[in-house]
Structure 1
Amino acid sequence: MIAFIQQEAAEKEKQIELQRKVQHSNLANASRLSILKARDDYVQALKEEARKQLVILTKYTTILANLIAQGLFLLMETDITLRCRRNDFSLVQQLIPDAIQRYKQELKQKDIKITIDDKNFIADDSFIFLVKNLIFYYFSAGGIELYAMGGKIKVSNTIEARLSMIFNQILPEIQEKLFGINQTENIVIKFFFFKIFFFP
């Protein structure tokens, strides 16, 4: 009888120890996830600040001219349709001749035709949306989209697309400088956010 009581007490002790370890592990994971979330929020705030700086009007004309020229060099087609924000329509009309001239000088190309799409525009409105109880604020910072071969080829040269591309390329360096995160942690962070948004 005493042996039975001792065995049951030992099993209960093991169960309690296991529950304690599980609870500790859950708390540690929750803490780690909240740290990862705070880090990501901070990095996203940096990205948002960069986007705001890019749309300062005095810089925007130069940026837009470069985005148009860069898009032409990426496409290397002779018949192109260009989409922009409705607000940028007249500015884009003014910038196209210079972009064509730059393209022709660089590539010795004789003819290139650019049609500005006056029916379909890049969204230029701001809105707030909710994903998994997180509030996101979106505004279109501008830029252009270029289409060739009847829309089969597309170059998205919006400020958001360029900023996201650059941001994703330098994200490991940003994390390293801000948080001292190594590559393994970087993979864990990316998996964590992929899992949250795509597998609820």
Structure 2
Amino acid sequence: MALTDADVQKQIKHMMGFIEQEASEKVEEIDAKAEEEFNIEKGRLVQTQRVKIMGHYEKKEKQIDQHKKIRMSNLMNQARLKVLNARNDMITDLLNEARQRLAEIAKDPARYSALLEGLVLQGFYQLLEPKVTIRCRQQDVEMVQAAVNKNIPIYKEAVKSNIVVKINQERFLHSDICGGIEVYNDNGKIKVSNTLENRLELTAQQMMPEIRQDLFGANPNRKFTD
């Protein structure tokens, strides 16, 4: 039986509807797959960028932490230097006060003459030379000569040797020093400095650990006390 034009048109329309349905389903499938791939790629990109951002800020945080440590170290060093400078200033003031007190000793003839006697005899023993020259302040010449006269017999008896002593009357010690003497061998190449300032300096060096401990307390970082 031959198809009429209406039947043909109906079949064509049915086929077109089927094709359109398949195309629509295919488009939806493609859209869904594209959406899924998009979401996956978007997630991957977001994660990648998140890792980069986290790494960037982690690096920044480490840099800031390092800068803080450096800054704190510098501040602590500056604080230590200030403390050390303050302590050194205190010790300097203490030594200056000691020098002023030494100057007072020279104003007491009895104490100063006894002190000169000890310094002169010590100079003799340190040099152990047959001929020595003594330098002193100009105002101390008489006291020094008296100390020399007193100590020559003591020295001779102790070392069983003679000694000739000369007081230098041309080159005196500066009047600004607290007092004391300098003793030289015959050619002037060996010197024993027994000025009061020198004796104070030597004593301060020897006693500095005790002085620091008395002023500032024991050093917690010091392992040995000998």
What is the TM-score normalised by the length of structure 1? Answer: 0.76
Are the counterparts in 2 of residues 72 and 103 from structure 1 also a CA contact under 8 Å?
yes
The structure 2 residue matched to 1:85, chosen from 130, 137, 146, is 137
The structure 2 residue matched to 1:31, chosen from 79, 82, 89, is 79
Provide the C-alpha distance between the structure 1 equivalents of 2:153 and 2:131, rounded to a whole number of angstroms: 15
Pair 1:167-2:169 in alignment: no
**Alignment of structure 1 residues 63-82 onto 2, 5 Å:** 63-82=115-134
Closer/same/farther in 2, CA of residues 186 and 115 from structure 1, 3 Å limit? farther
Q: Give unmatched runs, 5+ long, in structure 1.
A: 126-139, 188-200
Q: Give unmatched runs, 5+ long, in structure 2.
A: 1-48
Q: Percent identity?
A: 40
Q: Which structure has the larger Rg over C-alpha atoms?
A: 2
Closer/same/farther in 2, CA of residues 38 and 107 from structure 1, 3 Å limit? same
Match of 1:177 in 2: 214
Are the counterparts in 1 of residues 135 and 182 from structure 2 also a CA contact under 8 Å?
yes
Are the counterparts in 1 of residues 136 and 182 from structure 2 also a CA contact under 8 Å?
yes
The structural deviation recorded for 1:150 is 0.2
Pair 1:123-2:171 in alignment: no
The structural deviation recorded for 1:159 is 1.0
Match of 1:22 in 2: 70
Secondary structure in 2 matching 1:122: coil
The structural deviation recorded for 1:81 is 1.0
Provide the C-alpha distance between the structure 2 equivalents of 1:184 and 1:118, rounded to a whole number of angstroms: 52
Provide the C-alpha distance between the structure 2 equivalents of 1:85 and 1:186, rounded to a whole number of angstroms: 45
Secondary structure in 1 matching 2:172: coil
Closer/same/farther in 2, CA of residues 45 and 147 from structure 1, 3 Å limit? same
What is the TM-score normalised by the length of structure 2? Answer: 0.68
Are the counterparts in 1 of residues 133 and 186 from structure 2 also a CA contact under 8 Å?
no
**Count of matched residue positions in the alignment of Structure 1 and Structure 2:** 172
The structure 2 residue matched to 1:150, chosen from 177, 184, 187, is 187
Pair 1:114-2:165 in alignment: yes
Are the counterparts in 2 of residues 172 and 183 from structure 1 also a CA contact under 8 Å?
no
Provide the C-alpha distance between the structure 2 equivalents of 1:77 and 1:50, rounded to a whole number of angstroms: 32
Secondary structure in 2 matching 1:81: strand
The structural deviation recorded for 1:186 is 10
Deviation per residue, 1:43-83 (Å, 9 max, x gap):
22222222222222113222222111111111111100111
For 1:161, the aligned partner's letter is: N
> Whose RCO is larger (CA < 8 A, sep 6+)?
1
Closer/same/farther in 2, CA of residues 170 and 16 from structure 1, 3 Å limit? same
Show structure 1 runs of 4+ deviating over 4 A: 183-187
Are the counterparts in 1 of residues 133 and 183 from structure 2 also a CA contact under 8 Å?
yes
Deviation per residue, 1:116-155 (Å, 9 max, x gap):
1122222233xxxxxxxxxxxxxx2221111114012211
Secondary structure in 1 matching 2:214: helix
Match of 1:192 in 2: none
Are the counterparts in 2 of residues 83 and 120 from structure 1 also a CA contact under 8 Å?
yes
